[in-house]
Chains A and B, each alone.
Chain A
Amino acid sequence: MAAPTITILYNNSQNDSPNTGGSSGDTNWKPIDLINDKIAFLGNGTSNDDANTSKDAFKIPESGSVEVPKQFINSYYESKWKRVYLAGSDADDGLGGNYRYAYGAYIDGTTNSVPILQAWDSNDLDSYEIQVLGSGTPDSSMLKAVATTNAAPGSEWEGTSLAGDGGLNSVALDSGPIGASKMIYWNMRLVIPNTATPFATSPVLCVYVTYS
């Protein structure tokens, strides 16, 4: 078999429901243009369908750690911020919650092992030195994710700190290999500690698969 075709989608609705449209999405789920679109973590002042010519940046908290309240797709085609309403947790002042269907990947084909979600500094996919990913300490990564393919993440879910391909800092997106084309899902959040310094950065998320 060849490498499976992987389409990344997001839920642009407030309905916690699965994607019924495969790689094309449905009325709730939209495919991400992997060349031009970007996932963005923004402050409360940005809303769905706002023009992407401006944005409300999140402010580093004065104490403790706080989740960035809103997540969007910067839609190149529409030139708008498209909100991923159900993304994030309700922990650390987040505006998300116990939601199962925020982000997903349609795996068209099969895999030999479970797909894994990873995060890296750049497209070289070989380092995690930027501050957002823990400055080389994976457990300190501010980016956290949870697999939701088979269950909701639970109230005030914390998520796994994403950085590199270490077993403890990546997320298995299903319970085993993909035997037939299907959707797999995750939710994620960005938690900023008061010790952070201002940043604007673009870590690279990726899905690791095996095929034969």
Chain B
Amino acid sequence: MEKKSIYRVTFQDDENYEGGTFEYPGWNKCPDKPIKSLELVLPNDQDIIRLENYQKYNFFIGARKPLNSQTVVLGHMYGLGCNNNIVTSYRITVISSMGNKYKVGDITVRKFPFGKEGIRRTATTGWKGGII
């Protein structure tokens, strides 16, 4: 079965970049030109969240490496937009277990000062420029 892109970028010139998979998101291969919007594809492969009108964008996957397993356990997909040093973070749960209060497809929206948007209020890398 063909793996679908987990995000889509539209640039100022209206060209698009299709993101990769959870395993190989490919954000670092996204062309370095002004971003008009970033669309996150929700786990049902139908609905999307569109981030637009941000000065900067970021995207990454959150995963856990248990110390009793060879595999990495996916957890969340993050799409972030930043304006005037305020980051809006959209966290989408992509895998959940029975006891987890967050179910697959749950969306958690948070705001952080730029530089404190990462887990434990730390900075993240991977920001790309946008247009408003």
Q: Does B65 contact A (CB under 8 A)?
A: yes
- For B99, give its contact among A6, A127, A170, A177 (CB under 8 Å): A127
Interface residues in A86-128 by Cβ distance below 8 A to B read 110, 112-114, 116, 118, 123-127
On chain A, the residues within 8 Å of B46 by CB distance are: none
- For A114, give its contact among B59, B60, B119 (CB under 8 Å): B119
On chain B, the residues within 8 Å of A130 by CB distance are: none
A113 and B60: CB pair below 8 A? yes
Assess A212 versus B99: contact at CB under 8 Å? Given A34-B68, A113-B124, A114-B122: no
A207 and B122: CB pair below 8 A? no
Complex CA distance for A170 and B64, rounded to whole angstroms: 13
Interface with A: B8-16, B19-27, B31-39, which one?
A: B19-27
Complex CA distance for A61 and B122, rounded to whole angstroms: 39
Q: Is the interface of B mostly helix, strand, loop or mixed?
A: loop
Complex CA distance for A172 and B116, rounded to whole angstroms: 13
Complex: chain B residue closest to A175, CB-CB: B122
Shortest Cβ gap from A115 to chain B (Å): 9
Assess A2 versus B23: contact at CB under 8 Å? Given A112-B125, A113-B118, A123-B69: yes
Q: Which of B61, B66, B69 has most A Cβ within 10 Å?
A: B66
B23 and A126: CB pair below 8 A? no
Shortest Cβ gap from B126 to chain A (Å): 5
- For A34, give its contact among B28, B69, B98 (CB under 8 Å): B69
On chain B, the residues within 8 Å of A38 by CB distance are: 68
Q: Does A151 contact B (CB under 8 A)?
A: no
A6 and B65: CB pair below 8 A? yes
Complex: chain A residue closest to B7, CB-CB: A212
- For B66, give its contact among A204, A210, A212 (CB under 8 Å): A204
* Range for the number of chain A residues in contact with chain B: 35 or more
B67 and A35: CB pair below 8 A? no
On chain B, the residues within 8 Å of A21 by CB distance are: none
A113 and B122: CB pair below 8 A? yes
Shortest Cβ gap from A48 to chain B (Å): 21
B28 and A212: CB pair below 8 A? yes
On chain B, the residues within 8 Å of A123 by CB distance are: 66, 68-69, 73
Shortest Cβ gap from A26 to chain B (Å): 20
**Residues on B facing A (Cβ under 8 Å):** 23-28, 58-70, 72-73, 75, 78, 96-101, 118-126
23 A-B pairs with C-beta separation under 8 A: A34-B67, A39-B67, A114-B120, A116-B119, A124-B97, A124-B98, A124-B99, A125-B75, A126-B98, A127-B99, A165-B119, A167-B121, A170-B120, A176-B122, A206-B67, A206-B73, A208-B63, A208-B65, A210-B61, A210-B124, A211-B25, A212-B26, A212-B126
